[in-house]
Each structure stands twice: as C-alpha cells, then as structure tokens.
Structure 1
Amino acid sequence: MDVIQALEGYAITASAQSTWLLLEIRLADGTVGFGEASYFGREVEMQSVIRQARTLLIGRPCELPLEPLTSMQNGRTGSPGNLLAHVVEQAAIDALSRRAGLAMATFLGGAVNARVSVYANLNRGIVDRKAEGFAKRAQEIASSGHYKAIKIAPFDSVPADGSDVLEGPAFINSALLRVEAVRDAIGADVRLLVDCFGKLTPAAAREFLRQAARLNLYWVEDPINWAEAPPEESRALRSLANNSGIRLAGGEALGSEPEAEALLDLEALDVVLPDLRWTGLATGKAILQSAICRGLETSLHSPAGPILDLVSLQVAATIPSFSILERQIGESPFYDRLRGEPAVFEDGQIVVDLSGGIGGGPNRSVIAQHATCFTTEYPGALE
C-alpha cells in the first residue's frame, strides 16, 4: 500500500517580492514527490494549510483524490485550501510515477511532445523598469539564443479601480515606450508578448492595441477583466487585435471546467493559459483540450518557481498542438540550481525530461542551504 509517511513544506526567498513554497511527500518505501504551492501575497495562509494537511495525510494511503483534503476545500477558486489539494496532487503523482520509473507525462497519458516551446517572462526579474531597463534585459535574454519569445509587463503602477488615469495618453504612451524599446532591442524575429494584468478599461485597451499594431506583437494578455466587461466589448477587442495580427490571451485565474467554458463562450480569446496551481493537473488538461477543440491556441501560466516549471513541462508534453509555455526568468539565481539540472534548449524549445516523475529536481543541497522547513521547523529536512 502506498502510505504517506511524511509531508514537509519548504519556503525559499527568491527575491524581495517572491517566496517559493514547495511541498514534499514521502511514501513508506522512501519514494518522494514534489509540488509547488507558491501563492504570492498569501504565503502565511499557505504555510498554515500545509501544516494542517500534514496532520491529515500522514499515515494515509496515497490515493487520489485524497479524501481528508475535502474538509479544507471550500469550492472557491484561488483559495489556499483548493490550491493545497492541487499541490498535493502534483507531489503524489510525482512520487507514484517516480516509483514506477515513469515520467509524469507518461503517467498522465503519454508524452506526445518531446520538446516544448517556451517564452521568457521578464517581469519579476527586472529592477530598472524604465524603457531602457526593459530593453537591456530583453536584449540579454534574446542574445542567449535560448528564447524565441519574450513577455513583458509594461503597465507599472496600474490602479485597480478603473480610474480615469487608465484612459490618459501619458499612461498609454509610457507603456508603448517600453514595448517599442524592447521590440527595437530584440529585433523582428523574436516574438514579443505583453501582459496587462486585466487592469485596462476597454477604451484604454482599444487605444493601446491601435497604437501597438505597428510593433508586431504576438499576443496581448488580459488587456481587460473579462469577467467584468460586456461580452460584446470583449469580442470587439479581439476583432480589433486580430485585424493587426495580435492574439488575445487569458485564463490564468481559471479553476474549473465550468469557469473555463464560460470564458471560452465569450469568444474573446485566441490563447488560453490556465495555471496548474489553480486547476490541478486533470482539470488543467481538460481545459487545454477543450480550447484545442474550439480551434484556440494553448499555453500554461507558470510565473513562479522551478518546480511548477517542471510540472508544467510534463503536462505540456501530453497536449497535442500545445503552443508555448511561460517561464519566469532572472528573478533568482536559485531558479536553475533548485531545478536540479539546467534546462536543455533546442531552438526556443526545452527538451522534456522523461527520466521519471517531474524530472531531476529539486536539488537537495540548495534546499538544505537556502530553505526553511516550516512544517518541522528546521532546514534541510530532505537530507
């Protein structure tokens, strides 16, 4: 019987703005599996629910779904209890597939992609957020030869209340200066993606898209809050973008198939990008497959640490026609070291590690040196 013998949580300070939270499950035979519970801004709550999970799950069979976790789930998308269930799912499937000598992708139905296209998200890794700072960092990433696509978030200090500043030309122009500087720095052959965090008004989004048409953008992500805008506004925005060769992307906050179907029914998106922390693996795959059936492109939202990166790569490997995966770049020197082995790049794609579970990671020595074990209150519990 696959009994859970231990469950530990680790916190690693990645930067001044980010803490990565990892979860480890150990089975009775010593096999371990990992998931990522990073929840920026709600780290204390996540640590608390992981401690609760420890008392609920140790000594119980590692069978999915894990019934004791249902008491911590409230059905609300994005709640720490729901995220916990999905992270335990990651760790349990990682452990079970490792023990079977299978890659997680194989365990989830089979790898149909040996390599996955990726893009570099520079947002958390940029300190100088003026146009010149964005351009310099983007040029560095492009010149490495690893990435053929780069995403930036040029709308800094955006108020979330829909205030009139979002309509102003100075506000739009400040973002356009960053985008234009990056386009000039990386050249025409590198795809350029822009994330607006859903904070623009429809009028501001239209103005930005009109002026950005000359900059050859691959996609604009969440230009507006899809849940609050009238459906006709959303569809009109997509039409405006598509007429300039720009895709509209969104879906990072999705947590269930009904939520996904409601968003897809708006017909406002060209690219759907759920986050496996919010959906879980099975639901995330179902959302991606539904998007493909509708003729849409697929991605995964993966803005956190290297364990989520490894999990997302395994899921992406199982999706036919998967488009491109997000990777957070430049925020912390621990990213590649904690990952276990550096990613192997081939022409803008990463070779999927099919050696077992999620791959080689994490690096135990990095955890022992830099992590705090918040479940048993001492570092290095992996040793």
Structure 2
Amino acid sequence: MLTVDRSRPVTNAGRVSRVETLTLGTAWRDFSYVRVHTDEGLTGVGEITHPYRGRETCALTEAMAGRHLLGADPFDVEEIWLRLYQGDFLRGGDVGGIVVSGVDQALYDIMGKALGVPAYRLTGGACRDRIRVYANGWYTGEREPGTFAIKARETVKRGYTALKFDPFGAGLGELSRAELRRSVDIVGAVRDAVGPDIELFVEGHARFAMATADRLVRELAPFDLGWFEEPLPWTHIERYAELRANATMPIAGGEHFHNRYEYKPLFATNAVDIVQPDLSMAGGFTEVRKLAALADMHAMVVAPHNSNSPLCTTVSAHAVAGMPNFKILETFDGLLEDYVFDALQGVLPVSDGHVGLGERPGLGVELADEVFEEHPPSGGFWNMFAPGWERRDRT
C-alpha cells in the first residue's frame, strides 16, 4: 500500500487533529454526519447516514479515524481513501462504504475552505449553471391511483419536472394479478395527472423475479417512463442485460454498490442505461468521479441516488456540476421538517426543480449542535416489505 511521509510540510489546511460524529432524528430517518477538524482550525463535514445502522457507521467512523486519519494532510485524498479502504480491509459493503464516503466529503470541504473555493472547483469545475433534481417521497399516503394523482399534481406545482415513485406496495418476487393491475393503474393515474412533459421514474427496489420484471416492463411501456429502477435484485445482475433487451424504457440502478470494484460486474455486463451511485455510499467525491468516467466509457449517463439529508443533496450538486454525463439528481428535501435545515446551516436549497451552484468555500455547510441536541436519534424502522410501508409509519 502507498504510504505518505506525515512529517513533510503540509498545506495551510494543517493536519487532521480530531474527528467526531453527530446524529439528527427525523420522521424520515436518522441522519448521521462526520465532522473533521484540523490543527489549523478548519472543519469539514460529510454525511454518513445509514437508514438502519447509524450507530454502526458512527462507531466505525470514529475507530477508523484513530487508525488512519489523525495526523493526515486533508489534501491527500487519494492516499487517505486507499488507507481507509485497503488499510482497514473493508472489501466494500454498506457500513464501510458510507464511512469512506462521508470522510471523503469532509476532506473536500476542508480543501475548499483552505483554498477559498467551492468544492465543485476541485472536481472539474462546472459544466452547467444549475443542477436539475427530481422529487421522491412525495407520494406518502394511501396506495390508491387517485391519491397518487393528487400528490403528483401538487409536487409538479412546486416546480419539479420529474418525479419518482414506487407503485408496488409490499410486492416481493411476484405480484398477484390484482396487485399488478393496481400498480399499473397507479402509474397510469400519475401520467394522466401530470401530462406528457413531466419525466416519470418508477422504482422497483430490487425485488422482483425475472418473469415479473419482464411482465412489468411490458405493462409499463405505454406510460413513456424516463427509467425503470432496479427491477431485479442485484444478486441476479447477470440477467439485467436480458431484461434491458426486452424493455422500451431505460433501466437504472447501482445505488447498492459502494466502489468501482463492486460496480465491475454492472459495467462488464452492460446491466443498465443509467448509473446511480450515491455520494454518501459509493466513495464520496474521489470515487464517484471515477465511476462517472467508467459510465461514460460504456455510453451510460449518471443520475446519483440520494435518499439522505440536504447535506448529501449539497454534496451531490457539487459533485455533478462538472460531470459531463450527468442526467438528474434525486432529492427528498421536500419531505423533511424545517428544523433539519436549521441543523444543516448553509445547504443549497431546491428551487423550481433545481439546485444552484454553491458560492461559499468548501461545501458551505455548518452543523448546528444545539439543533442536534434538541432532536436526538429515534432508531425508527419501516419495513418496505410490509403492507402500508408507503405511508412510512415508523415503528
């Protein structure tokens, strides 16, 4: 493994002197963060949210900091990434992937502050003036075509030009004839409600058997979808290309992979048309840039997954600003309580279906500790395979 002489002169960022974690409780999920300090008084933040294993990601972050971060120059992002991944024998996986991602985000935040430039200036500059986003989470409520239609129209009125939703309820493996018809009717109702100019993305949550997925791509064809996301489990990635050959809409996926090594079979089999790395799961700025380049090599576009907090939205906006093959960014920001934005001071707002380019150094975000203290983690859980999960009643 590469090693760096940590006694050599460093940039004006100084060296990493302390690492801490914080978690904020919300109705959607508990959001977790890492805050990295340097001996020159700079701090950087990153998101380490896991929907169900927040305590584990925080504990691993603090442990890995002691092994690999303290004393490091924040500008040595490639060496630190390698040290975290190879030196800690992570070999991928969700908890480790999230930790590496959040730490990487925090280092870019520090570098931007040290240089006095926004983070996107460190990752290729800008290919665009603003970042187009789509809404998710808007369909919380009863799983009926009429309800989805009403909520879709309300969301479009807020300026969104694209919506994503899961119409399939607790379906797993196969759908009964009645459930299949109901799911297709929901998609049809949403299309009728928003008209032909709004992009619709249907979420499969990686849970259907091949025969059911194949039936669905045919049933959903009339609704002119922007993509069908994760119709099959990733344990059957070798069948994605077969399904793509039968589909009239693009197939999207990749959120469950955490680095280029896990992505290797996706690219090798041309499994999807649209790649969906998550900036808080797939290795942060350092790794997602490489994944975007690999996607471009395979004539694929990139639509980052982002079911996390507005900090990840901000991070993702910085990351895709200079990404030539970027398509659109996911956001749940419209679903969240006002105090989340109080806790994450300076996040880039969603306005008229877009996020603007950041102007402040680094990510431009500071964590308000007092808000975190007022809203501790709840440890809630909602089971996607239980009837009524779309209401998101946490237990």
TM-score band, normalised by shorter chain: 0.7 to 0.9
What is the CA-CA distance between 1:61 and the residue it aligns to?
2.4
Which residue in 1 is equivalent to 2:306? 302
Q: CA deviation at 1:222?
A: 0.7
The question of whether the paired residues in 2 share the 8 Å contact of 1:20 and 1:37 is answered with yes
CA deviation after TM superposition for structure 1 residue 272, in Å: 0.8
Matched, 1:175 2:179: no
Paired residue for 2:381? none
Q: Does the aligned pair in 1 maintain the 2:92–2:262 contact within 8 Å?
A: no
* Structure 2 residue matching 1:300: 3-state secondary structure: coil
Instruction: Flag as ranges the 4+ runs of structure 1 deviating above 6 A.
Output: none
Residue 114 (structure 1) aligned with residue 122 (structure 2) = no
Query: Aligned in 2, Cα 1:129/1:101: closer, same or farther, shift over 3 Å?
Result: farther
CA RMSD of aligned residues (A): 2.5
The offset of 1:28, in angstroms, is 1.7
The answer to whether structure 1 residue 73 and structure 2 residue 93 are counterparts is: no
Greater shift, 363-372 or 171-180, is seen at: 363-372
Question: 223, 226, 230: which is aligned to 1:222?
Answer: 230
SS in 1 for 2:335: coil
Amino acid at match of 1:216: D
Q: Give 1:206 deviation, angstroms.
A: 1.6
Partner of 2:279: 276
Distance 1:129 1:366 in 2: 34
Question: Structure 1 residues 281-290 or 56-65, which shifts more?
Answer: 56-65
Label 1:73 to 1:301 Cα distance change in 2 as closer, same or farther (>3 A): farther
Shift of 1:346: 6.7
Q: Which residue of 2 aligns with 1:354?
A: 359
Matches within 5 A, 1:83-232: 83-122=98-137, 126-145=140-159, 147-159=160-172, 162=173, 166-228=174-236, 231=238
What is the aligned partner in structure 2 of residue 265 from structure 1?
268
Q: Give the match for residue 253 of structure 1.
A: 256
Report the Cα distance in structure 1 between the residues aligned to 2:176 and 2:117, rounded to whole angstroms.
54
* One-letter code aligned to 1:92: L
Structure-1 separation of matches of 2:41 and 2:311: 20
Question: 1:348: how far off?
Answer: 3.5
Q: Distance in 2 between matches of 1:268 and 1:69?
A: 29
Q: Is the 2:270–2:298 contact (alpha carbons within 8 Å) kept by the matching residues of 1?
A: no
State the partner residue of 1:236: 242
Going from structure 1 to structure 2, the CA distance change for 1:363 and 1:322 (only over 3 Å counts) comes to: farther
Question: Which runs of 5 or more residues in structure 2 are unaligned?
Answer: 1-9, 378-395
Matching of residue 38 in structure 1 with residue 49 in structure 2 = yes
Separation (CA, whole Å) in 1 of partners of 2:344 and 2:147: 27
- In the other structure, the counterpart of 1:370 is 375
How many Å separate the matches in 2 of 1:58 and 1:218? 42
Report the AA paired with residue 362 of structure 2: G
Are 2:251 and 2:272, in contact at CA under 8 Å, matched by a contact in 1?
yes
Residue type at the aligned position of 2:157: S
Q: Which one is further off, 17-26 or 166-175?
A: 166-175
Q: Does the CA contact (< 8 Å) of 2:112 and 2:362 recur in 1? A: yes
Distance 1:71 1:286, change over 3 A: closer
Amino acid across the alignment from 1:260: Y
| AA in 2 matched with 1:182 | V
Deviations 1:319-348 (A, max 9, x none): 113111111144321444444347456763
Residue 126 of structure 1 contacts residue 330 of structure 1 at CA under 8 Å; is this kept in 2?
no
Asked whether 1:10 is paired with 2:22, we answer: yes
Deviation of 1:351 after TM superposition, in Å, equals 1.3
Normalised to the residue count of structure 1, the TM-score between the two structures is 0.85
SS of the aligned residue for 2:247 comes to: helix
> What is the total number of aligned residue pairs between the two structures?
359
| C-alpha contact 1:77 1:278 (8 A) present in aligned 2 | no
- Letter paired with 1:298: V
Distance across 2 between alignment mates of 1:81 and 1:291 = 23
Where 2:236 maps in the other structure, the secondary structure is: coil
SS of the counterpart of 2:91?
A: coil
State the Cα deviation string for residues 240-261 of structure 1 (Å, max 9, x = none).
222xxx1110111222323323
Structure 1 stretches lacking a partner, 5+ long: 373-383
- In structure 2, how many angstroms separate the alpha carbons of the residues matched to 1:12 and 1:317? 28
Identity %: 25
* Alpha-carbon offset, residue 49 of structure 1: 1.3
Give the secondary structure class of the aligned counterpart of 2:277: coil
Q: Distance in 1 between matches of 2:247 and 2:69?
A: 51
Deviation at 1:6, TM superposition (A): 2.6
Paired position in structure 2 for 1:375: none
